[in-house]
Structure 1
C-alpha cells in the first residue's frame, strides 16, 4: 500500500489516495482550515473532525460526523513513533527508513500494514517533523478505517437515535 498526494485546486485542502496494486482503495481530503477529513471508498463516505487536547495540545482527538469521540492519537515526532486508539482498540505505528508508515499491534516485525509514503507529500523527502499531527491523524484514520471496518452492529451503535 502507499499514500499518493493528489494536487487540489484549493490551498486549504490536501487530497491523498491510498493505493494498492495500482488500484485506489481510499481517498482522504484533509481540510486544513476546518480541521476535518473526508474519507471515501467505493461503499462509504464519512466525515471526521480532528481536535487537540492535553496540557500542551500534544494529543489529537478524532470525532465522527456526530461529534462522538472515536479515537485518540499520541505522537512522538522525535522518534517517529506513536499510538492510535480507535473504537477501543490500540495500535502502534512508526516511520521506518524515512519513507514507510508501519502500523502494528505488539511487534513491528508483525505489522498490520506498511504504507509507502514517498509519493504522499508534495515535498521530496519524508521526515517525522514534516507532517502536522492532524495529517498523521488523517493517514492513520484512513488506514485503520480501511483495514478494520466496523461491523453493521458496531455502526448502528454510533448512530444517534431521535428522542420523541
Structure 2
C-alpha cells in the first residue's frame, strides 16, 4: 500500500489516496481550517474531526460527524512511534526511515499494514520527513477505516456503550 498526494486547488485542503498497485482504495481530504477529514471509498463516505487536547495540546482525539469520540492518538515524534486507539482497540505504529508507516497490533514483525509514504509529502513542509499530529491522525484513521470497516449497527453499539 502507498499514500499518494493528489494535487488540490485549495491551500487549506490536502488530498491523499491510499493505493494498492494501480487501484485507489481510499481517498482522504484533510481540511486544515476545519480540522476535518473526509474519507471516501467505493462503498462509504465519512466525515471525521480532529481535536487537540492536553496541557500542551499533545493529545489528538478523533470524533465522528456527530461529535462522538471514536479514537485517540498518542505520538512520540522523537522516535516516530505511537498508539492509535480506535473503537476500543489499540494499534501501534511506527514511521520507519521517514518513508514507511507500519501499523501493527502486537508485534512489528507481524504488521497489519505497511504503507509507503514517499509520495505523500507533509502538509507543513511538502517533504515526507515531518508530519504534524493531524497528518498522522489522517493517515492512521484512513488505514484503520480501510482495514477494519465498521457497519452502522456496530457503530451505534459502540456509541451507545461509550455514552452509558
Superposed pair shares fold, TM > 0.5: yes
Q: Distance in 2 between matches of 1:63 and 1:44?
A: 17
1:35-92 deviation digits (Å, cap 9, x = unpaired): 0000000010000000011111111000000000000000000000000000000000
**Alpha carbons of structure 1 residues 159 and 43: separation in structure 2 relative to 1, 3 Å:** farther
How many residues in Structure 1 have an aligned counterpart in Structure 2? 158
Give the TM-score normalised by structure 2.
0.91
- Give 1:117-156 correspondences, 5 Å limit: 117-121=117-121, 125-127=127-129, 130-156=130-156
Gaps of 5+ in 2: none
**Partner in structure 1 of residue 89 of structure 2:** 89
Q: Give the aligned CA root-mean-square deviation in angstroms.
A: 1.6
Distance in 2 (alpha carbons) for counterparts of 1:57 and 1:83:
16
Name the CA distance, whole Å, in 2 between partners of 1:11 and 1:102. Answer: 28
Matches within 5 A, 1:8-157: 8-121=8-121, 125-127=127-129, 130-157=130-157
Structure 1 runs of 4+ aligned residues shifted over 3 Å read 122-125
- Greater relative CO, 1 or 2 (CA 8 Å, sep 6+): 1
C-alpha contact (below 8 Å) 1:118/1:124 kept by paired residues = no
Report if the CA contact (8 A) 1:29-1:37 is conserved: yes
- How far apart, in 1, do the equivalents of 2:151 and 2:37 lie? 21
TM-score in terms of structure 1 length? 0.91
How far apart are 1:96 and its partner, in Å?
Answer: 1.0
Unaligned runs of 5+ in 1: none
